Amino acid sequence: MCGIVGYVGEKEASDFLIEGLRRLEYRGYDSAGIAVYDQGKIQIEKKMGRLANLEKVLETHPLHGKIGIGHTRWATHGGPSDVNAHPHGDCHNHFVVVHNGIIENYMEIKKELLEKGHIFKSETDTEVVAHLAEELDDGDFLSTVRKVIARITGSYTLVFMDAAQPDTIICTKKDNPLIIGLGQGENFIASDIPAVISHTRRIYILNDGEMAVVRKTGVSVYDGEGLPVSKKIHEVTWSAEAAEKGGYPHFMLKEIYEQPKAVRDTVNIHIGQDSQIVFDTLNWNKSDLMGMDNILITACGTAYHAGLVAKHYIEQFARIPVEVDIASEYRYRRPLTTERTLAVVISQSGETIDTLAALKEARRLGARSIAVTNSIGSSIAREADRVIYTLAGPEIAVASTKAYTTQLVALLMLALYMGQLKGTVTNEQVQDVVKALQTLPEKIEKILENSQYIAGLADHLTKVKDVFYIGRSIDYAIAMEGALKLKEISYIHAEAYAGGELKHGTLALIVPETPVIAVATQDDVKSKMYSNIQEVRARNAEVIGIGFDDDRELEKYVTETIRIPRVSGFIAPILSVIPMQLLAYYTGVKRGNDVDKPRNLAKSVTVE
Ligand code: AGP
């Protein structure tokens, strides 16, 4: 996920470009750059790191001109660096582009262009677009862009400049956002409304396949066939602050709602031909797996909870023993890690110091390592032997939501992939899970549609002092994540217990004023779980049950039911966690807390 801006008008383009990028920095922040038509050519300045680094460069090398484009990057192809930062130009910076998304067939096009003598500077998929435009240039900017689009596959927002037409920007999109802000004698391009809202509230929202020709005098939009499209002008009514969050009151809620897309993106990159699971970055064969005695998963907080679920996945599908350890504990207990151990570290930020230290320790003891992370080029990604990226996009709220569900997806697919290689799963099992994963985004949407009901349930929690979460098997791991969410956002004491463990002490704390959240999605322990719920109800505690929509029995034992669509027990955690995220969110909001930045916490914990 990257941020894109463009400007054409009478003012200094770079002023708007920098201001717009600042408002879009939440979309990506590993590098930034701008291109401006200045002194008869398109000039580019770009810099790795936060926008401030680029601003510093521009202090000594300012770009003056009235038309330009800009980009803030969240790396996908090619790590964060000056050279991989956008904008990208062709061999002569005749065509210059910024891009958000992925060009899937860039390798094939790049090979062809290299043979024709094009010289590439970066490792990005984006650069091929600029060179392709140079190759296909027929002197007509719009027609050239159309030819480029016809050749590329993937998802993209693309914005082009052409040195031969220094009064025009052309942009188009597929599966990625793009809006055009309509001004007086000036027009603006952006990935998202916050970039333009202080200049105009009148916008066009581009549809997939449409192309906009943007000049200071006006904007013309064409469909994929090149026919003019008459666009409706949207009047933005949000405040600038609300717009940054895409209209959501908090980043946390926005990120909860981004889960269908985040899950879809993470699933899709691991599905290969014949619906087999692929992990290109691992480059393993069967003997690599046969050489592993055990797997160590280590992580912190929510990522640790994802590891607890992954233990079930890996032991079931790959039949390799898995130990899950809190990263800050692991290296202080003389662990029995050897060169026959595979260490899997999980970290959204890729910068958590405890996780990084645990990874280094496991490697020092000889383990091979994989990092599952959401941050390309992060310290953990660089330290590990192999990396699996979750495609959650930037997560801003301190409480992890979409990073967690994408971790579960990646780890489930990893477990199946290992089973595939080892021969411990059948092709049919793989296909069943793949099919279920492909329909998961719709099921998440369905849960999200029910959010007002969950908001209502949060009223039961706002005044209480303690909440218990119970579950058995995988549901216990999910209960731990639910309890953590409630603690960090609402500041209410919450504990998770394995359903069968309550009677060994904790039941003494269950009183009518202590609500219990019971997760009941695992068929093999269903009857046991119902008994545990009845133990709690017998102490007159209110129980909110989370179960499948066709489970008529659960509702007999609980006071309120949150229903999720029926899926297999392995997929269930990816769904059952969502109502718990919403419950925590609404409870925190109703208690007046700053849910995006809860007290005492930080997004990335880089201290021990
Ligand atoms: C989750 O809501 C937390 N804020 C926290 O537990 C987090 O998951 C933990 O600090 C690990 O972070 P990481 O995934 O970036 O390593």
On whether residue 363 sits in a domain, the answer given is yes
Helix boundaries (H) for 439-504: 440-449, 451-458, 474-490
Q: List the catalytic residue out of 41, 261, 360, 603.
A: 603
Q: Which of 438, 465, 500 is the last residue of a domain?
A: 438
On whether residue 404 sits in a domain, the answer given is yes
Q: What does the pLDDT read at residue 546?
A: 98
pLDDT level of residue 145 (50, 70, 90 thresholds): very high
The residue with greater pLDDT, 373 or 379, is 373
Structure tokens at 472: 């058995």
Q: Give the three-class secondary structure for 143.
A: helix
Question: What Å distances lie between residue 134 and 96, 296, 298, 306, CA to CA?
Answer: 10, 50, 48, 46
Identity of the highest mean pLDDT range in 224-238, 432-446, 587-601: 432-446
**185 and 253 share one domain:** no
Q: What does the pLDDT read at residue 420?
A: 92
Q: What does the pLDDT read at residue 542?
A: 95
- One-letter amino acid of 233: I
Question: What Å distances lie between residue 27 and 47, 251, 586, CA to CA?
Answer: 16, 12, 24
Residue 4 in contact with residue 159, Cβ under 8 Å? yes
Report CA(299)–ligand 1 centroid distance (Å). 9
**104 and 57 share one domain:** yes
**pTM score over 0.85:** no
On whether residue 607 sits in a domain, the answer given is no
Question: Above 70 in pLDDT, residue 10?
Answer: yes
Q: What does the pLDDT read at residue 1?
A: 65
Q: List the catalytic residue out of 2, 245, 254, 300.
A: 2
**430 and 475 share one domain:** no
**195 and 330 share one domain:** no
Residue 547 in contact with residue 475, Cβ under 8 Å? no
Q: Give the three-class secondary structure for 604.
A: coil
Average pLDDT value over all residues in the chain: 93
pLDDT in tens, 248-280: 999 999 999 999 999 999 999 999 888 889 998
Q: What is the CATH number of the domain that holds 490?
A: 3.40.50.10490
The residues, any chain, with a CB within 8 Å of residue 583's CB and separated by 6 or more, are 454, 457, 458, 461, 482, 485, 486, 517, 544
Q: Which residues line ligand 1 (CB under 6 A)?
A: 300-303, 347-349, 352, 355, 398-400, 488, 604-605
Mean local confidence (pLDDT), 229-240: 83
Q: How far is Cα 466 from Cα 491, in angstroms, rounded to an integer? A: 10
Pocket test for ligand 1, best of 297, 309, 352 (most atoms within 8 A of CB): 352
Report CA(586)–ligand 1 centroid distance (Å). 20
Mean local confidence (pLDDT), 452-478: 96
Mean local confidence (pLDDT), 6-31: 90
Q: How far is Cα 109 from Cα 35, in angstroms, rounded to an integer? A: 24
Q: How far is Cα 194 from Cα 254, in angstroms, rounded to an integer? A: 15
**230 and 362 share one domain:** no
Residue 63 in contact with residue 49, Cβ under 8 Å? no
Pocket test for ligand 1, best of 309, 354, 604, 605 (most atoms within 8 A of CB): 605
Q: What does the pLDDT read at residue 608?
A: 64
Pocket test for ligand 1, best of 346, 349, 388, 401 (most atoms within 8 A of CB): 349
Cα 106 to the chain's mean position, in Å? 22
Q: Which of 405, 438, 471 is the last residue of a domain?
A: 438
DSSP H/E element including 588? helix 572-590
CA-proximal residue: ligand 1, atom 16 (nearest): 347
Which atom of ligand 1 is the closest one to the Cα of 299? 16
Q: How far is Cα 512 from Cα 509, in angstroms, rounded to an integer? A: 10
**375 and 395 share one domain:** yes
Q: What is the CATH number of the domain that holds 194?
A: 3.60.20.10
Q: What does the pLDDT read at residue 188?
A: 98
On whether residue 553 sits in a domain, the answer given is yes
Question: What Å distances lie between residue 261 and 2, 176, 249, 439, 441, CA to CA?
Answer: 15, 11, 19, 12, 7
* Closest by Cα among 240, 236, 170 to 205: 236
Question: Above 90 in pLDDT, residue 351?
Answer: no
CA-proximal residue: ligand 1, atom 10 (nearest): 301
The residue with greater pLDDT, 69 or 236, is 69
Helix boundaries (H) for 464-525: 474-490
Report CA(361)–ligand 1 centroid distance (Å). 20
Q: What does the pLDDT read at residue 379?
A: 81
Mean local confidence (pLDDT), 469-495: 97
| CB atoms near residue 107 (< 10 Å) | 12
Report CA(468)–ligand 1 centroid distance (Å). 21
Domain count, the chain: 3
pLDDT level of residue 143 (50, 70, 90 thresholds): very high
Report CA(567)–ligand 1 centroid distance (Å). 27
Report CA(603)–ligand 1 centroid distance (Å). 7
Q: What does the pLDDT read at residue 276?
A: 87
**393 and 464 share one domain:** no
Q: Which residues share a beta bridge with 497? A: 470
Tokens 């269908």 belong to 260
Mean local confidence (pLDDT), 79-88: 93
Count, in order, helices (H) and strands (E) of the chain: 21, 25
CA-proximal residue: ligand 1, atom 9 (nearest): 301
Evaluate the omega torsion of the peptide bond into residue 573 and state whether it is cis, within 30 degrees of 0.
no
**228 and 267 share one domain:** no
On whether residue 601 sits in a domain, the answer given is no
Q: How far is Cα 497 from Cα 507, in angstroms, rounded to an integer? A: 10
Which atom of ligand 1 is the closest one to the Cα of 352? 16
Structure tokens at 503: 């009677």
Which atom of ligand 1 is the closest one to the Cα of 398? 4
Mean local confidence (pLDDT), 446-475: 96
Report CA(54)–ligand 1 centroid distance (Å). 29
What DSSP string runs through 48-73?
Answer: ESSHHHHHHHHHHS----SEEEEEEE
On whether residue 606 sits in a domain, the answer given is no
Question: Above 90 in pLDDT, residue 476?
Answer: yes
On whether residue 165 sits in a domain, the answer given is yes
Phi, psi (rounded to 5 degrees) for 488: -70, -25
Which atom of ligand 1 is the closest one to the Cα of 401? 2
DSSP H/E element including 132? helix 127-136
What is the maximal distance between C-alpha atoms in the chain? 81
Q: What does the pLDDT read at residue 242?
A: 64
DSSP H/E element including 157? strand 154-162
Q: What does the pLDDT read at residue 34?
A: 97
Share of the chain above pLDDT 70, in %: 98
**395 and 468 share one domain:** no
- One-letter amino acid of 275: S
Which atom of ligand 1 is the closest one to the Cα of 603? 4
**408 and 506 share one domain:** no
Residue 402 in contact with residue 258, Cβ under 8 Å? yes
Q: Which of 198, 225, 242 is the last residue of a domain?
A: 242
603 is catalytic: yes
From start to end of 374-459, where are the E strands? 386-389
Pocket test for ligand 1, best of 374, 398, 400 (most atoms within 8 A of CB): 400
What DSSP string runs through 321-375?
Answer: -EEEEEHHHHTTS-----TTEEEEEEESSS--HHHHHHHHHHHHTT-EEEEEESS
Which atom of ligand 1 is the closest one to the Cα of 605? 10
Report CA(96)–ligand 1 centroid distance (Å). 38
Which atom of ligand 1 is the closest one to the Cα of 601? 4
Residue 255 in contact with residue 395, Cβ under 8 Å? yes
pLDDT in tens, 518-550: 999 999 999 999 999 999 999 999 999 999 999
Report CA(395)–ligand 1 centroid distance (Å). 11
Out of 341-350, 376-385, 431-440, least confident range: 376-385
pLDDT in tens, 181-203: 999 999 999 988 889 989 999 99
**116 and 168 share one domain:** yes
Question: Above 80 in pLDDT, residue 376?
Answer: no
On whether residue 598 sits in a domain, the answer given is no
Q: What does the pLDDT read at residue 202?
A: 94
Question: Above 80 in pLDDT, residue 28?
Answer: no
**175 and 195 share one domain:** yes
Q: Tell me which residue range forms the domain holding 582.
A: 446-593
